[in-house]
Amino acid sequence: MNRPMHNRCGIWGVWLAAMVLCGGCSKPAPVVSAPQPVVPQPLPSWDLPPDSPPPAIAPFDAAAAKTHQEAWAKHLGVPVEVTNSIGIKLAFIPAGEFQMGSPESDSDAYDIEKPQHTVRITKPFCLGVTEVMQEQYERVMGSNPSKFKGAQLPVEQVSWEDAVEFCRKLSELPAERGAGRVYRLPTEAEWEYACRAGSTTKWSFGDSESSLADYAWYDSNAGSKTNPVGQKKGNAWGLYDMHGNVWEWCSDWWKRDYTTTAVSDPTGPATGSIRVYRGGGWLITARFCRSADRDGLQPLDRGYFLGFRVAFSSVDQSGR
């Protein structure tokens, strides 16, 4: 089965249409001055309370990732991992900064992953340790739309709107309301920051594809189906299946090109027609399971390659 390629090849259609409309462009083009290169502006210095731990600024190794995670959790008086009322485990992700997207040197990268740019995540958040399982989804929604049935399998064949509705209903459960947890999908920037966990390599564990089977279910080892969550190795922040198994919806509207400017807590365009998904899946090659790989589909689209994991952001330094 081919991977849905909703946004990777659209530029060729635009180019062809432009060539047809201009009749082969026989008219001499006007002389236009060469654009001046854009010089990215750095972000201002971090403005944190004096007693705050240092932000987790990539690159850093797995040991440092755990140190950042534990220091920030202790500072805010929260656990590194929490289990909610329906059994979803969520890991604490500290504030930090990373390079989002792929460098020009990555031969596997697509243009939609560029330019690589600095992103700052100023607010700690919690992210699902695994993708939402079918038993968890059914408990909240009362149904299970998945093609591949199994309580511990990731739910799939869910649209972006289904995932958002799950978050809304989960937030309304008495135990979750009592705990002050308001669930949502992660932003695309939060997703990649959490996936990388300080790494700057193609995958969170390194650049060697030969190790991917230890961390991910993809076309070489998945057996043409989804597999139970949390069976492979996790990343440095204790997140599993960030590479492979099912693609995961993010909250952002799709934007094809990244900015060259450093940004803080980006949430994507204000409007759009396509929502972002991340992570790769069981039916596709290693290239599409990289940390920076990205694509998008319409919010009502469903497929047995699409699932999600939840986040909540009631933990941050402003609430201390």
CA distance 138 to 245: 19
Which residue bears the tokens 């656990």? Answer: 79
pLDDT of 55: 97
Gyration radius (Cα) of the chain, Å: 20
DSSP H stretches of helix in the chain: 10-21, 62-76, 134-141, 160-172, 174-179, 188-196
Q: Which residues contact 63 (CB under 8 A, 6 or more apart)?
A: none
* Residue 302 φ/ψ, nearest 5 degrees: -135, 155
CATH topology classification for 51-319: paralog of FGE (formylglycine-generating enzyme) (3.90.1580)
CA distance 206 to 215: 11
pLDDT of 43: 85
Boundaries of every domain in the chain: 51-319
- Per-10-residue mean pLDDT of the chain, 320 residues long, equals 46 30 33 44 84 96 98 95 98 98 96 97 97 98 98 98 98 96 98 98 97 98 98 98 98 94 95 98 98 98 98 60
User: Concatenated DSSP letters for 206-264?
Assistant: BS-GGGGGGT-B-TTTS-SS---TT-S---TTS---SSBSSEEEEEEEP-SS--SS-EE
CA distance 271 to 193: 23
* Residue 176 φ/ψ, nearest 5 degrees: -75, -40
Instruction: Report the amino acid identity of residue 22.
Output: C
* Residue 209 φ/ψ, nearest 5 degrees: -60, -25
Do you find a cis peptide bond into 115, omega within 30 degrees of 0?
yes
Which residue bears the tokens 């972000």? Answer: 43
Give the distance from CA 139 to its chain's centroid: 25
Token output for 204: 């969170």
pLDDT of 315: 57
Instruction: Report the amino acid identity of residue 200.
Output: T
- Environment class of 187 (CB within 10 Å of its CB; exposed 0-12, middle 13-18, buried 19+): buried
